[in-house]
Structure 1
Amino acid sequence: MKKNLIYIFILLSVMACLDDKSNYDYKDLNDFENWDRNGVSNVDSDYTLYPGEEILFEPKVRFSIDSLNPDASYAWYLGKEEEKTLLSEQLNYTYKAEEIGEFTLLFCATDNKTNVTFTKEISVDVIASWKYGWMVLSRSAGNESQLSMILSKKQKISVTVDGKDVSRDTVVYVGENMNIVPNLGRGPRRLVENFILPTVHGMLVEDEVMVLQESGPVELDGNKLTPVGYAKNEFFDGIPDHFDPVDAVLTFDGKWLLNSDNYIYMANLSVAIDLHSGFYLKDASLNGKKVKTLLPYYKGEGNYLIVGIDENDTYFGIVNDGECGYNSTDYVINPLNSVGACAEFRDDYENDLFKGVEGEFIFHAWANEANYYTSPAYFSVLDQNGEYLWHYYELDYRKENDKFYLTEESSESGQIPASIMVDYKCMAFFPWHEWLLVVSSDQLHFYDYWENRIINLASLPQFNSEIVGLAVKDYDSYYGTLNAHLAVALKSGEVYIFEVKYDSELEEMELVELYHKDGFGEIVDIECKFGQGNKPGASSMY
């Protein structure tokens, strides 16, 4: 009897094991070992939409068993696992973008036989249609200023790397909006974007765009591109005589206008999230210092210096060190700052590339992502009697005995080959790839200034009109996985956008056309609209 009980126990154990194994196998099949890769198709992981746009999700779900006729139920949620709101209990779902922001959709597929639920997260970035892209400033037949936008979105694409399909971000161009702002002004000159890099947790502020024109500068909301400020209305004690700004630098805590008579007028802001919280003074800044040029300003973390060149062809700096208080909730800029102070080289400083420079500057660009550890870097090109000198340099300042001195942190220079400067028209600079693009005789020439070599183009783009402007969106990509984008504006009113692809083995450049459109009119300026203060050097598309 005892022996029989043992046999019965063994038999029951085996049957239980077999039953468990059967359940384990079944559940294992439905755990979808490759769920993230194969479980759901026809749905991407990331989408970019404009407010008001809709997208129909029609996922195709593949179960490991019963794949043709699965016994399943489905649900869509807004939010992640911890905190989600039910949107639909159908397989297909139409999502409508109603407000700007970053959202997570959660798609759930439940195997009704096992009650096991599998999920897929989908990120939806809802952005203002005019937040990112390319701005085109044109002149109408009646000399009116016209601002247009080339619209862009982030998109996932599949590329093959080492024989494997991988997903990569790219930017696609989805159209354009012409002449967006009615009655913008007259006599267009140039565009300057003003955006804030948040320095306090929770700080939210949109970028703005200043349009410089003969009728006076106007600032536009960065999303709606509607007027939000006019420089003439922001003077505390009256508008200066002959007020006619031709350039501007717009920063975290101040605005500087360079007038046509070479004087600078400054507005010192008091609230970081209000770009109109300060006012200009009628008297010229810097004790009436005459200024030829304000260099392009990198609006990034820790850049506390604005660089210019005075009437004596000598570099100087403007201190720009305003910050909000630690853990500030009102975002008031600390009044104990030195914003607007002038920093100059010491009297005994000797470097003819910074002091009493001989020749004519034909190009300036910012050249790095300035931060707390890296001084602002610049790239300039100097015409010295037909010989063209490039200059890469870092400048900063220090304070001694209540006086500020401009300091040279580094300086490198070289000569650009004369062959690519014949009938020179314009230039563009790729800060992260360290290339210079020169347009001469309506031909494009890529130049590696560190290696002193001209980079061959796989094919030369053929344009039917003179090139009048260039703009670049370069990417600080550590692994070199993101290619720069180049915008080319033609006198005929056409704009081309190319992806710039470099083959390091062939040492050859290829320009892949991404966009081409005419009808922009007489183009005066073209600029990449970054939309945020941390985007000029971003390692991602958006």
Structure 2
Amino acid sequence: MKRIGIYVVIVLFAGIVVSCLDDDNNYNYKQINEMQGGAFNFENFNLDYSVIEGEELVLAPTFKFTIDSITPDVSYEWYVDKKLQSGETGPTYTFKAEKSGTYQVTFAVTDNKTGVQFGKSTTINVRSIYQRGWVILSDDGGRSVLHFIVPTTQRYQATYGGETFTRDSLVYHIVKRDIVPNLGSNPKGLMNNIGDMDYSSEYGISVYDELVVKQDRWVELNGNTLEREVYTDEEFHGDIPTGFSPVEAAMTYSSKALLDENGLIYWEKKADVTDFHAGTYMSIGLNNNTRFSRLFQAYKFNSYKTDVMLALTKDDNSLVGILDMGYATEGTVITENSSYTSGNMYNITDPSGEDHFSNIEKTVVDALPSPYDAGNDITGAEPFWTVLLKDEATSVYELRYFGLEAERRYVGCMEGWYYETSLGVINDYRGMANFGNRRYAVIANGNQLYYCQYGWDAYGDVEYRGELMPLGGPLPAAVKALTGIDIANNLYWQKYPYDGQLGVALEDGSFYIFGVVETKLEDGTCTAVSLKQQFPNETTSEENKTFGKIVDVLYKLGRGMDYMSFAF
């Protein structure tokens, strides 16, 4: 959508009319009434708001005049997209978010004594109720069932740096159950496919992602409505491989890769950055039918930097990089010049002199993308991964963290950005959630969660200890799946830090959302960590505390920008 300008309005539609009081032609004018602090000095009126469909937002701006500051003689007008709202003549206005989209709401105050008019506008982003939130995939007797927990906001007072201000916080009061009829059967897992970011609002994109449900027949769902867009096998356009049964995938806005149970990766080179399905999967296995045992999701948030996918070869247990180079220079078409090497596979060059990527002797348990940027700007995030390995003989786990860089015929580890640490014995590994920008992972061992801070500080000067720290007490049942939100708002603009949020599904069908509260030294080293429960909460009904036989959980981003900061 085109983002509407929000810095208005000194002159509202007709201009400022300045009249003089008691003009008796002797030029003895009285002082003009003005706004204290300047013409735009309306308080309790943000530059923008973010709400979901069905919410109501009460706007109640405050102001003071230089004259008549206590009981000013004024008139009020409210405009939505420059249209006067009839009957809205009071100092407050209730905006009803009936349909997703972007709206401009303008508040106008007229000093009745002078005719001078002051005003200010805000942008209200109304997102689909399913655009972002916590997705729970359950198995109801073989039927795939989706549930959705919607994040909303609640205003509160906070103090930071000696300043008290009003802040919005994430709360969870809305639960939608079994939201997609006839979804499919035998659910296996969930994946978030992130599309083009449209940073400059050039393309008017309103669907930023889609949800992929792994089941007997994989299905890709519209990111706003969760209606079926396409079955994954349909993207072969009739040339589907014999016995096709996908097990893992990596999807970005310029390429798609599917790992089949036969060990082959089928590749789709995309044609348009605004279309999730503008391409065709090739039915021939990637890299001359190389066999792979794993394929790991990648996020192409930035077209020039996140240019590689990560996979594990079957024959020699080596981590390799698959190029993902496509981008659009003008318009939405992904250029052939940028993407002609996409799909090429390369061994990962290790500048350290030690090869940490080839012929790995341990089991690669999992690898999660960890895009990181010191300034919390996802547009410049580098491609990092957090990889968990296991020594099968001892059950000792190891965590590795590294960044990759790629060129046309090269994939390598970023020099100085390889890290590994032993985590000790984990007897009942149940899953990992990664917070790449915050540099920690949460690992489940049976019914106990553990926190592990890894890597270095933003400047690479302080190496974190990389040890498991118990996170909260034992949970009521063993963990089934983990997911998280890696929120890390820029303090200069947002003024208040957020805790990372962790979603935890248990084998008994319950689901929890926790804030992960870190206590850190000045150098960033975490010395203590705890959990603050956000869901279930005091508004949660008994029905909405359990979700049957949970298969997988995922925080659906909506758009990649919300990976590092939650835009209210």
On whether the aligned pair clears a TM of 0.5, the verdict is yes
Aligned counterpart, 1:9: none
Amino acid at match of 2:321: G
Structure 1 letter corresponding to 2:370: A
334 and 74 in structure 1: CA distance in 2 versus 1, 3 angstrom threshold: same
What is the identity percentage for the equivalent residue pairs of Structure 1 and Structure 2?
27
In the alignment, which residue of structure 2 is the partner of 1:229? 230
CA contact (8 A) 1:253 1:269 kept: yes
Task: Tell me the equivalent position of 1:539.
Answer: 565
Q: Deviations over 1:94-141 (max 9, x none)?
A: 43334422323121222222334343434321100000111111111x
Q: Counterparts of 1:148 and 1:255 in 2: how far apart (Å)?
A: 26
Q: Which residue of 2 aligns with 1:217?
A: 218
The correspondence for 2:445, drawn from 431, 436, 440, is 440
Please say if residues 245 and 257 of structure 1, whose CA atoms lie closer than 8 Å, have aligned partners that are also in contact: yes
Deviation at 1:416, TM superposition (A): 3.0
**What is the alpha-carbon distance in structure 2 between the residues aligned to residue 48 and residue 383 of structure 1?**
43
What is the aligned partner in structure 2 of residue 510 from structure 1? 530
Alignment of 1:189-204 (within 5 A): 189-198=188-197, 202-204=202-204
Counterpart residue identity of residue 322, structure 2: I
For residues 362-400 of structure 1, the C-alpha deviation after alignment (integer angstroms, 9 at most, x for no partner) is 22111224889765211112112332221111223334x
Task: Look up the match of 2:420.
Answer: 414
SS in 2 for 1:534: helix
Counterpart of 2:260?
Answer: 259
Find out whether 1:114 has 2:117 as its counterpart.
no
The normalised TM-score by structure 2 is: 0.80
Residue 7 of structure 1: aligned partner: none
Residue in structure 1 matching 2:404, options 384, 387, 395: 395
Shift of 1:525: 1.1
The structure-2 alpha-carbon separation of the partners of 1:189 and 1:31, relative to structure 1 and needing over 3 Å to count, comes to same
When structure 1 is superposed on structure 2, of 287-296 and 510-519 the one drifting more is 510-519
Say which is worse superposed, 173-182 or 367-376, in terms of deviation: 367-376
Q: Structure 2 CA distance, aligned partners of 1:152 and 1:190? A: 22
For residue 356 of structure 1, the aligned residue among 352, 356, 359 is 359
Of 517, 527, 538, the match for 2:554: 527
After superposition, give the CA deviation of every residue in 1:143-176 in whole Å (9 maximum; x if it has no partner).
1111111111345432112442123343222311
Alignment of 1:354-393 (within 5 A): 354-369=357-372, 375-384=382-391, 385-393=394-402
Report the Cα offset of residue 204 of structure 1.
Answer: 4.0
Q: What is the SS of the residue equivalent to 1:535? A: helix
CA distance 1:430–1:54, shift in 2 (3 Å):
closer
Aligned-partner SS, 1:416: strand
- Is residue 308 of structure 1 aligned with residue 281 of structure 2? no
RMSD over aligned Cα, in angstroms? 3.2
Letter in 2 for 1:210: V
SS in 2 for 1:172: strand
User: Which ranges in structure 1 are unaligned for 5 or more consecutive residues?
Assistant: 1-15
Distance 2:199 2:211 in 1: 23
CA distance in 2, matches of 1:200, 1:327: 13
Q: CA deviation at 1:454?
A: 4.9
2:509 counterpart letter in structure 1: G
* Structure with the greater alpha carbon radius of gyration: 1
Do the aligned partners of residues 257 and 35 (structure 1) sit closer, same or farther apart at CA in structure 2, a change above 3 Å counting? Answer: same
- C-alpha contact (below 8 Å) 1:298/1:369 kept by paired residues: no
Q: How far 1:455 moved relative to its partner?
A: 7.6
1:306 is displaced (CA, Å) by: 1.0
User: How far off is 1:183 after superposition?
Assistant: 1.0
* Separation in 2, partners of 1:374, 1:234: 30
Q: Is the 8 A contact 1:466 1:491 kept in 2?
A: yes
Q: Cα–Cα, structure 1 residues 534 and 440, in superposed 2: closer, same or farther, change >3 Å? A: same
* One-letter amino acid of the structure 1 residue matched with residue 51 of structure 2: L
Q: State TM-score, norm by structure 1.
A: 0.83
1:22-421 → structure 2 map (5 Å cutoff): 23-24=30-31, 27=33, 31-33=35-37, 46-57=48-59, 70-79=72-81, 84-88=82-86, 89-91=88-90, 92-140=92-140, 142-198=141-197, 202-205=202-205, 206=207, 207-213=209-215, 215-301=216-302, 302=304, 303-311=306-314, 312-324=316-328, 326-328=329-331, 331-336=332-337, 337-345=340-348, 351-369=354-372, 375-384=382-391, 385-399=394-408, 404-410=409-415, 411-418=417-424, 421=426
Deviation at 1:503, TM superposition (A): 2.5
CA distance in 2, matches of 1:478, 1:55: 25
Whole-angstrom CA distance in 1 between matches of 2:283 and 2:238 = 6
- Could you tell me which runs of 5 or more consecutive residues in structure 2 were left unpaired when the two chains were aligned: 1-25, 455-462, 537-543
Matched, 1:452 2:452: no
SS of 1:232's equivalent in the other structure is helix
| Code of the aligned partner of 1:85 | K
Cα 1:175/1:199, change in 2 over 3 Å: closer
> How many angstroms does 1:355 deviate by?
0.4
Closer, same or farther: CA 106–345 of 1 in aligned 2, 3 Å = closer
Is the Cα–Cα contact under 8 Å of residues 134 and 554 in structure 2 kept in the other structure?
A: yes
Following TM superposition, by how much is the alpha carbon of 1:502 offset from its aligned partner in structure 2, in angstroms? 1.9
Deviations 1:413-454, CA, capped at 9 Å, x for gaps: 3333427x3433222221112112222241222122342265
Secondary structure in 2 matching 1:286: helix
Q: Is the 8 A contact 2:52 2:127 kept in 1?
A: yes
Which 10-residue stretch deviates more, 101-110 or 292-301?
101-110
Q: Tell me if structure 2 keeps the 8 A contact 1:46–1:155.
A: no
What is the CA–CA distance in structure 1 between the aligned matches of 2:280 and 2:43, rounded to whole Å?
56
Q: Secondary structure at the match of 1:447?
A: strand
Task: Write the distance in 2 (CA, Å) between the matches of 1:221 and 1:35.
Answer: 43
Give CA-to-partner distance per residue, 1:288-340, whole Å, 9 cap, x none: 1111111221231021211111011112222111222x322xx2222332222
Is the 1:76–1:87 contact (alpha carbons within 8 Å) kept by the matching residues of 2?
Answer: yes
Q: Which residue is equivalent to 1:501?
A: 517
8 A contact 1:383–1:389 mirrored in 2: yes
CA distance in 2 between counterparts of 1:313 and 1:256 reads 19
Structure 1 residues 280 and 102: alpha-carbon distance in aligned structure 2, compared to 1, 3 A threshold = same
Equivalent residue in structure 2 for 1:427, among 425, 432, 437: 432
Alpha-carbon separation, structure 2, partners of 1:181 and 1:361: 34
Contact 1:305 1:397 in 2 (8 A): yes
Helix, strand or coil for the counterpart of 1:481?
coil
Q: Count matched residues.
A: 503
